[in-house]
Each structure stands twice: as structure tokens, then as C-alpha cells.
Structure 1
Amino acid sequence: MGRGRIPIGRRERAKEDKRERIMTAAREQFAEHGVSGVTTQQIADRADVAIGTLYRYASTKAELLIMVQNEKFAAAIHDGLAAANTAAGRGGVLEGVIALIGPVVACVREQIENGRTYLHELVFGDPAEPYRRMGLALAASLEDGITGLLTRDDYIDTADAATLARVITAIIHISTTATVYLHRSDEAVLSDIRDQIRTILAPHHRAP
């Protein structure tokens, strides 16, 4: 029994090592050149694996990008959620939401082409593909985080909070990817998002 387990462990370690090399190579290449300026062969060469090996981990360049961006997206959501509770306690629900989405905006705009392509792939790609499914789950967790913050507002019920969260995520998507906004700084984009969120929340605070 013991002998039979050793080769399996080695194979798993070897697979994980190759995956990490591919991820690192893809992350570096995409950061340096953008998704359109890189080929899968260049990524395979930097990772020191055969192109056929690379395709066992991700069958397209888009899937490689999603693998890389999922890690960044997850980290941004984690940081945003960590900051949101403090911000909401000090400045109210709006400030909590802005604290949550601030790292997400920075993540998507870190390399504009990569961020735009990533969001496009999540929206229009095959939702059953594993990496896209993971990305969509991350997007849902962002939406859930926004919903949770909005339910702290005494004037917003749970159903409205969920709907508003979907609207806010749509605002984030458009504000971070639309060509007309690409010249703006992250601060300007976030300020504009804040104004839009304030506007859609305002009717809930008006006296009946």
C-alpha cells in the first residue's frame, strides 16, 4: 500500500509544480505585454513546458488569462470585504460599498486590456468551463458582499438590496471597461461610481 502511494504523490507534486510555472509565466507575460501581445507558445517557453503540456492545464489563451485574473480578483474581493466593515461603521453603507469595490476597480484596471478581456470572457464565454465558473462564482461573491452591506441600511429591504447590488455590479463593469472611460484615473472612476451609487440609493431615503 505504502509503495503504491509514493508515485501518485510525486505525480501530483509534479503536476502542481507545472501548474505553478505556467501560472507564473502567464502572469508575467500578460502583465508585461497584455493578453493580445502574448502567445501560448511564449508562455509555454517561459514556463519551460511543452505546448501540449500547457494545453492540459488551459486549452486556450483566454483560459490562461482567466486563471491568472481569478487569483487577482479573489484577492481584491478579499481585501475589499476586509475594509468594508470598518468603512461602513464609520461612514455608512455607501462608504462601505466603496471600500469593498475599491480594490476590485484597481484590479480590473491594473492592466486595462487584461481586465476588459477577463470581464468580457466571464460574461460571454462558456459558463460551464471550470475557470469561467470560478470567475463567475467570485463575481457572485462580490455581489453578495454588496448585498450584505446594503441590508444594513434601515431603508433598504433584502429584495431591494439584492437588486441594487446587481445594478451596482453592472455600473462597475461599465465604468471599468468602457472605452470612453479608459483615460480616467482609478480615483476618477471610483468617484464616478460613488456618485452613481449615491443616486440609485437616494430614492430609498426619501420620506414616503
Structure 2
Amino acid sequence: MPLASQPAGRRERNKQQKLDRITAAARELFAERGVDEVTTQEIADKADIGAGTLFLYAKTKGELLLLVQNSTYADALAQGKSEAASLADLLDAVMAILRPVVECNRKQIDNGRTYLREIIFGDPEEPHHRDAIGMTVQTEKAIAEVLQRDERVSADDAATLAHIVSAIMFVSMAATINIAKPVDEIVAEIKDQVRVLLPK
């Protein structure tokens, strides 16, 4: 039997089950009360594991938040890419990618802002942080692919523009001045800025 098709061993299944319980517990508690109001002990208790075991999977609450938010971000990006594929207008297609990302980030605003802070300032050697950075790279790649539909935009220019668009989105989501703004206003703010970047 090829190695890739062999079922996971008991140890691997147990590790995955613990990780799933930790993720579910953290997701539920963070959604209810926000990351700052939840202790790692509460997450461990809800996941029915010891605190020491929890720290084998994530060393800090920030890492736990990355673990939880990364899967939501991945789903949002997949949705955005799918919607963008059918849109001819470049601005509409770029915004189709960005809107679900903004929506998932704003479900619990404090958690979303903490997630962005962890992406920017977190430990790049930590696996959940690497995954989050990978999601931002995938977002920029999706935007660049849309921009390259315009034959006047080179691959290098598309990558640079996508990086700028990503920065605009991050700042708009993280800015304290935008804390109380609903998703539609955040998206409109991003769209107004992205519009001036795109080729006329």
C-alpha cells in the first residue's frame, strides 16, 4: 500500500482530535467573549485537556486566535476567489476577493484586530503565524491574477499593486477610527482607495 494512502495511526488521530477540540473550544469562547476576556485555562477545560497539553499546540492566546481565524480566512478567500472568477470588471473582481475577508475579520471586531496584530507582529517561526502569512500571500496572489487580466499590467506591477491593496485592506480593518464602522463602510473605504490604483 502506498504511504500516502495508509490511514493515520492512532497517535496522529489522537493529536488531530485534540487539535480539533482545542480549535472548537477557542472558537466558541473567543466568539462569545473576545480573545482578551478568555484564559488559556478556560480553553483547556472546555477542550477537556490539560493546560500543558494545550501549550503543545499553541503557546499563547495569540497563537490560538491565529489557529481559529486562519480556517475562517481560508474559507473567506476561497469564496472571494470563486465570486471574482465570474466578474469582468477589475475593481468588482478585486472587491469580490476582499469583501469576504473583511466580513470574516469583522465578525468579532476585537478578535479581528488582534488577529491582524498577530499577523504583523507575531513570531514568524510559529506554525500558525506562518499559516496566517501564507493566507495573506494567497490573497495577494489572487488579486494579482485578477489584475493581470488587463494586458497592460505586467506580472511585477500586478504583484506590487496587490501588495498595496492588501496593505489598504489591513489598515482599514485595523484602524481604531474604524472600530465602530460596519462592513459596508469598511468595504466602501477600501474600494475608494483601490479604484485610484487600477489602470484607467
TM-score bin, normalised by smaller chain: over 0.9
Deviation, 1:10, is 2.0
- Where 2:9 maps in the other structure, the secondary structure is helix
C-alpha separation in 2, matches of 1:85 and 1:116 = 29
Match for residue 115 of structure 2 among 101, 113, 118: 118
Ranges in structure 2 where 5+ consecutive residues have no aligned partner = 1-7
Specify the alignment match of 1:5 in structure 2: none
1:9 aligned partner, one-letter code: G
Specify the alignment match of 1:106 in structure 2: 103
Specify the alignment match of 2:14 in structure 1: 14
Specify the alignment match of 1:25 in structure 2: 25
Q: What is the Cα-based RMSD across aligned positions, in Å?
A: 1.2
TM-score, normalised via structure 2 length: 0.93
Specify the alignment match of 2:82 in structure 1: 82
Alignment of 1:8-87 (within 5 A): 9-87=9-87
Specify the alignment match of 2:90 in structure 1: 93
Deviation, 1:11, is 2.1
C-alpha separation in 2, matches of 1:161 and 1:9 = 44
Specify the alignment match of 2:174 in structure 1: 177
Specify the alignment match of 1:3 in structure 2: none
Deviation, 1:185, is 1.1
Does residue 187 of structure 2 align to residue 190 of structure 1?
yes
2:128 aligned partner, one-letter code: Y
C-alpha separation in 2, matches of 1:133 and 1:17 = 22
C-alpha separation in 2, matches of 1:197 and 1:125 = 27
C-alpha separation in 1, matches of 2:144 and 2:12 = 39
Specify the alignment match of 2:5 in structure 1: none
2:125 aligned partner, one-letter code: A
Specify the alignment match of 1:162 in structure 2: 159
Count of paired positions: 193
C-alpha separation in 2, matches of 1:194 and 1:128 = 33
Does residue 121 of structure 2 align to residue 138 of structure 1?
no
C-alpha separation in 2, matches of 1:175 and 1:47 = 34
C-alpha separation in 1, matches of 2:72 and 2:189 = 23
